[in-house]
A and B are shown apart, each in its own frame.
Chain A
Amino acid sequence: DIQMTQSPSSLSASVGDRVTITCRASQGISNYLAWYQQKPGKVPKLLIYTASTLQSGVPSRFSGSGSGTDFTLTISSLQPEDVATYYCQKYNSAPWTFGQGTKVEIK
Chain B
Amino acid sequence: EVQLVESGGDLVQPGGSLRLSCVASGFTFSGYAMSWVRQAPGKGLEWVSGISHSGINTYYADSVKGRFTISRDNSKDTLYLQMNSLRAEDTAVYYCAKDHTGLYYFDYWGQGTLVTVSS
Contacts and interface: CB of A to CB of B under 8 A. Distances in A.
Interface residues of A, number: 23
Interface string A36-64: 10100001111001000001000000000
B104 to A, nearest CB: 5
B50 to A, nearest CB: 7
Contacts, number: 60
Given A32-B103, A87-B45, A101-B45, A95 B61 contact: yes
Contact of B105 (A43, A95, A96, A101): A96
A46 B110 contact: no
Interface in B93-107: 95, 100-101, 103-107
A36 to B, nearest CB: 7
B110 A43 contact: yes
Interface in B56-71: 59-62
Given A87-B45, A94-B50, A96-B47, A46 B107 contact: yes
B44 A87 contact: yes
Interface in A92-107: 94-101
A96 B97 CA distance: 12
Interface of A: 1, 32, 34, 36, 38, 43-46, 49, 55, 85, 87, 89, 91, 94-101
Interface of B: 35, 37, 44-47, 50, 59-62, 95, 100-101, 103-107, 109-112
23 contacts: A1-B62, A43-B109, A43-B111, A44-B37, A44-B45, A44-B106, A46-B105, A46-B107, A49-B100, A49-B101, A49-B105, A91-B103, A91-B105, A95-B47, A95-B59, A95-B60, A95-B61, A96-B50, A96-B104, A97-B47, A98-B44, A98-B46, A98-B47
